[in-house]
Structure 1
């Protein structure tokens, strides 16, 4: 392999997956550069500051369990516990004209917040089924779970209709942006089982971009540098084509949504194309409302998120109370809410002017937050065409072949690799991509197999053994 290159590794995309990959490769001593089309880092985990407000473009919480790789990365970056405080507020579901707090709480499997009394036996049956099959729900291997390729809607049909309408659909529609008839339930259940009760959820003190900013401070990032194409060359390396220039590298990591990665690397080998084609994304659209006072949906307990099921509202899927998530998101005496559009409406909203989108969502949210229209002093619309990866049965079917592909000059990273829209999936994917690049650029001799057949070394699955820097303690 030729070493006469501009870089060891070119990373395309400065989201959390790309920055994690660059961080790991830089720690290993390689020359790495990250190319980002936007003028900021963080991707879907970016924030901006305006008039004393810290506005998150996306929405992310940091559970104390189930996010092992993220916590290890934060520890290595020197992020202190004070910088990731507990949220300490409730999640609620709207039903029959009021908020029902307790969703994702410790006693939610027993109380079923938002469920009718007749649905509680079904809630108990579903809880028992997931507990019995818990070991099969591995977030790194969604195709291996006991739920197989059942969609969220098909899985819910085993139970009382409330479990779909007031539990699985609101969670899938708001946090994942999913249509329950299209996406499989396995990644959803895997995530819900891993993250624990909401009492252990945390946030980033100074905006959800804290992790991205800390990672970017230690790597070489070229902002406003849009990559047009990545081509594997005959010398075993890659050519990264940007507007008016070309960069050569020994390897490249495409840290972009699967449809974008497929477009950037049109010469992808045949064993990669089926999964890349099957990895579809749902768009995301949100409106951040800056308020002259701290309003929130009325509730028996202080809320952090109110989910609005599709059966109750066809415009909104959730209201995030950002000043309750962390007081630093808004100046003292002010408020900040994020209104999340319903997946069914986003397609039309993406074609509408921002002013119309703002007015429609504020009008819909006023039903849950009295006085919102009068208190809103400014609003910002955030949209991502490739917002959240879907977990379609087709993607689940082709995932294993993709993950078993040989090491190549062009690697991939992103939460779509595990079909799980979460920053933990992005961190793990970035570390995995880095380990694959290092294995190819710095091959190590395999351990000598024992002389007898007994005790032969087991195959190491890269999907569950990321680069050693983020392995379990």
Structure 2
């Protein structure tokens, strides 16, 4: 039987793996426990039908917007090969008046229109300028001058096209958020930090590239389901049908509702925040095609936002073979349809056949003849899709952020209410440092000491 690790990490998504990596660099023995049969969490890539099928739609803004992620990419040498993290051409478009309007989210879009009228473009520029000057911190959204205003409140004073053709579809399509219910502060901070869509990148070898690179360096047990976590004076016990694991500390890198269920005796400030962190489910349909096709107007573009007044069930169409040529074999196509919040609510628990029938029929309007091109279909469901930042969660986060370090810590994009890989990676560094603080305050009987990694990669 192997010796008890210094730290047990529950969850082999990017957050858990990045936390484990940082702890291992500090000299800790770490074991990662993952309930599913593969690493990556919501950032998995299926290798099927000759394609790389990303289960989500992760893209990487520049290092200015995603500093923690790019530091980790460079530390692991993932950018050492030319083209390993390429730019996505035509990253974002908006559907309007029968076709996709390219250059959304880019300075060029302010000139070409991107589906917005001249007055709406001026209002968009005014909004972006205001956000850029607001001093928004994506890692501390509860400190935002926007307070607990909702996304709908944020855009109420701007042109209706900015609200209905851009901001609402962005919030719904990429975050799964309801603009009337979700807090503006995290969304606005993410928007301001991410910058122009003209500088968005992807991983050449699939969106699970970062997770796989981390897992290769760590002790990871897949198929290991943790059912309860208990903290005591002698450390942390993690119950499991595969056998109880004990460790000096633990990191719960799982969705907040799952963490709340696992760690029933969490201190009040933690418990309140965990319970306040709701999640938006996500539903995505990936279609392997016999040849490349795309929505009208974006033959080479990637993602098209579909406003709610254009379709109630479809929110985003991604042309994955345009994301990178390696996503599909030459001469074939790969396209995904992301359901809107309403479509997800209607279809999340429906049989696959109904999901395919409903979403494919809707997508025909945007990609005529699509059904005739389909060879294989993959349905991706995430009940805990993306953390939803409600005003209640923002209010509860202040006490959560002030809590002292403890034997049980947390990692995940919900920690800062920032639904993206940057939120996951930055939370991992924070969780690892808090664990190291705890271990330093309660040194092992062996006298071993741990220190935070210090290098040019320090966040």
Q: Above 0.5 in TM-score?
A: yes
**Closer, same or farther in 2 for the Cα pair 1:355/1:215, shift >3 Å?**
same
- CA displacement at 1:471 relative to structure 2: 5.1
Partner of 1:440: 438
Q: Give the CA RMSD over aligned residues.
A: 1.9
How far apart are the structure 2 equivalents of 1:395 and 1:343?
Answer: 20
**Closer, same or farther in 2 for the Cα pair 1:220/1:5, shift >3 Å?**
closer
Output one character per residue of 1:158-206: Cα deviation in whole Å (capped at 9) or x when no partner.
Answer: 1122121011101101111111111111111211211221221111011
Q: Is the 8 A contact 1:111 1:120 kept in 2?
A: no
Q: Is the 8 A contact 1:47 1:54 kept in 2?
A: yes
Q: Is the 8 A contact 2:72 2:457 kept in 1?
A: no
Partner of 1:267: 265
Q: Which moved more, 1:401-410 or 1:104-113?
A: 104-113
Q: Which moved more, 1:82-91 or 1:104-113?
A: 104-113
Q: Tell me, which stretches of 5 or more residues in structure 2 are unaligned?
A: 444-451
- CA displacement at 1:119 relative to structure 2: 2.6
**Closer, same or farther in 2 for the Cα pair 1:409/1:52, shift >3 Å?**
same
How far apart are the structure 1 equivalents of 2:97 and 2:7?
Answer: 55
Aligned residues, how many? 447
Output one character per residue of 1:378-407: Cα deviation in whole Å (capped at 9) or x when no partner.
Answer: 100001100000010011111111011011
How far apart are the structure 2 equivalents of 1:30 and 1:240?
Answer: 18
Output one character per residue of 1:305-355: Cα deviation in whole Å (capped at 9) or x when no partner.
Answer: 000011211011000110000010000100000110011121221221001
Match of 2:378 among 377, 380, 385: 380
Partner of 2:218: 219
How far apart are the structure 2 equivalents of 1:362 and 1:168?
Answer: 25
How far apart are the structure 2 equivalents of 1:168 and 1:55?
Answer: 27
Partner of 2:157: 158
- CA displacement at 1:107 relative to structure 2: 3.2
How far apart are the structure 2 equivalents of 1:168 and 1:470?
Answer: 36
How far apart are the structure 2 equivalents of 1:218 and 1:361?
Answer: 40
Partner of 2:172: 173
How far apart are the structure 2 equivalents of 1:171 and 1:279?
Answer: 20
How far apart are the structure 1 equivalents of 2:281 and 2:241?
Answer: 27
Match of 2:252 among 229, 239, 254: 254
How far apart are the structure 2 equivalents of 1:128 and 1:212?
Answer: 35
**Closer, same or farther in 2 for the Cα pair 1:278/1:256, shift >3 Å?**
same
- CA displacement at 1:444 relative to structure 2: 10
Q: Is the 8 A contact 1:17 1:429 kept in 2?
A: yes
Q: Tell me, which stretches of 5 or more residues in structure 1 are unaligned?
A: 446-465
**Closer, same or farther in 2 for the Cα pair 1:190/1:355, shift >3 Å?**
same
Match of 1:344 among 308, 318, 342: 342
- CA displacement at 1:130 relative to structure 2: 2.0
Match of 2:297 among 290, 296, 299: 299
- CA displacement at 1:131 relative to structure 2: 3.2
Q: Is the 8 A contact 1:431 1:467 kept in 2?
A: no
Q: Is the 8 A contact 2:7 2:250 kept in 1?
A: yes
How far apart are the structure 1 equivalents of 2:298 and 2:404?
Answer: 55
Q: Is the 8 A contact 2:170 2:305 kept in 1?
A: yes
Partner of 1:205: 204
Q: Is the 8 A contact 1:90 1:301 kept in 2?
A: no
- CA displacement at 1:467 relative to structure 2: 6.1
**Closer, same or farther in 2 for the Cα pair 1:392/1:229, shift >3 Å?**
same
Q: Which moved more, 1:136-145 or 1:296-305?
A: 296-305
- Tell me, what secondary structure is at the counterpart of 1:155? helix
How far apart are the structure 1 equivalents of 2:132 and 2:23?
Answer: 38
- CA displacement at 1:470 relative to structure 2: 7.5
Match of 2:394 among 380, 390, 396: 396
Q: Is the 8 A contact 1:435 1:467 kept in 2?
A: no
Partner of 2:98: 97
- Tell me, what secondary structure is at the counterpart of 1:44? coil
Partner of 2:58: 60
- Tell me, what secondary structure is at the counterpart of 1:268? coil
